[in-house]
Amino acid sequence: MLPNAKLGDGGATFLEAIFTATSAVCVTGLIVVDTATYWSPFGQVVILLLIQVGGLGIMTFASVIGLTIARKMSLRSRITAASEIKSVGLEDVKGLVRGVVLMSLAIELTVAVILSLRFLTGYGEPVGRAVWLGVFHSVSSFNNAGFALFSDNLISFATDPFICLPIAFAVILGGIGFPVIVQLRKHIRSPLRWNMNTRVVLAGTITLLVAGTVFITAVEWSNPATLGPLAWPDKLLVGFFQSVQARTAGFNSIDNGAMDSASLLATDVLMLIGGGPAGTAGGIKVTTFAVLFFILLAEVRGETTVNVFGKRLSRAVHRQAISVVLLAVAVIVISTAALMLLTDISMDRLLYEAISAFGTVGLSTGITAGLPVAGQVILMLLMFVGRLGPVTFASALALRQRRTLYELPKERPIIG
């Protein structure tokens, strides 16, 4: 709210400041004012710092929670988990934090250099401006924040692979999670040594990226407001970029408000699923979605156990996944209904905005700034709950497990 954080006279209003701060620290990317023209360089630095702190904090918090849950396992399970992960010791929280920070800075620096050189040589930006653009968008992309320093986000660079692909690469790395990156770094050539989490995250990420790219590209292929005017290689690039961003990053290289309703619905699904655990992505997490898929597959096959990549899935994980999904659906439905009561905007756009906020994505059809104050408060609460809710709720369920000394008689209601 400081006057020097805003361009022009005066400072930002309380709502503008707190909405932007919430969106930045929750690494979402929804905005009520234009980041490029409303905030001064000082204000943009504040946003960048909030994004960095929010991204590092979530990755560290989720990783430490993972260690805490691991300590609750039996000794045999702990030894097995430690031998599979081969990353940090169960007591080495300091080493874990250091690993998260160093890995994040290394990836951000690499992407920042690539983007800075492109802005410098491809667009004639002065050295200082090119470096600032490279650093800002690198940090924003790796932390899946979606804040951009251009009024049209990245629409002006939709057909430039030297801008879009490094950003997409950073988004994917930030979204798959710290544990997966560590294991890939150690055993990239030994897939048999990957644990279940790494296999599920990689398989789910690749499947969703390919499916999202194919669907969005096919639906928008002839849309004159999105992919229609582009050459076919550019259509594929934009389709892939949009599919990546729907995994909770929030950049956009086309106008989301002009997309077909089918594309918006597909994006809703991708945003809700999100990325991997212990990463900068939001959503219910690809592992949660995968668990539900394998439960369904086992039921269809009539199997009594759920097996994933040669390992049996704990029944406690079944309950945790179902609980997280039902909680997410309830929060989104209630919030969307509240937004419908406050505005006359169509349900598909309000649902899109609500899922984007809960999944900490940041994609928007352009209605956020026009919502009433109560509607913007709802989005802020969704961002906060979506950022901390799933990991906190799931870890609480895992840590509160207790064995009862008796069982009640079984009975089955009619299902379906």
pLDDT of residue 78 exceeding 50: no
Q: 82 in the Ramachandran plot: left (φ > 0), alpha (ψ -120 to 50) or beta?
A: alpha
User: What's the average model confidence in pLDDT over 92-114?
Assistant: 85
pLDDT in the model for residue 72: 54
At 205-249, the pLDDT tens digits run: 999 999 999 999 999 999 999 999 999 999 999 999 999 999 888
Which is more confidently placed, 61 or 71? 61
Question: Please, are residues 250 and 145 in contact by the beta-carbon 8 Å criterion?
Answer: yes
User: What's the average model confidence in pLDDT over 3-8?
Assistant: 93
At 354-406, the pLDDT tens digits run: 999 999 999 999 999 999 999 999 999 999 988 887 767 666 666 666 677 88
Quote the pTM value: 0.87
pLDDT in the model for residue 81: 44
Nearest to 171 by CA among 151, 145, 152: 145
User: What's the average model confidence in pLDDT over 93-100?
Assistant: 72
What percent of the chain lies above the pLDDT cut of 70? 89
Under the banding of pLDDT at 50, 70 and 90, the label for residue 90 is very low
Which is more confidently placed, 85 or 323? 323
Give, in order, the Cα–Cα distances in Å from 368 to each of 60, 258, 307, 356, 388.
30, 15, 43, 11, 22
User: What's the average model confidence in pLDDT over 193-197?
Assistant: 88
Which is more confidently placed, 142 or 85? 142
Q: What are the backbone angles phi and psi of residue 399, rounded to the nearest 5°?
A: -80, -15
Report the distance separating Cα 251 and Cα 140, nearest Å.
Answer: 9
Provide CB contacts within 8 A for 335, sequence distance 6+: 354, 357, 358, 378, 381, 382
- Lowest mean pLDDT segment, chosen from 57-61, 125-129, 287-291: 57-61
Task: Looking at mean pLDDT, say which of 87-96, 274-283, 387-396 comes out highest.
Answer: 274-283
pLDDT in the model for residue 375: 96
pLDDT of residue 133 exceeding 60: yes
Maximum distance among all Cα pairs of the chain, rounded to whole angstroms: 75
Provide CB contacts within 8 A for 201, sequence distance 6+: 176, 177, 180, 276, 277, 286, 287
Under the banding of pLDDT at 50, 70 and 90, the label for residue 281 is confident
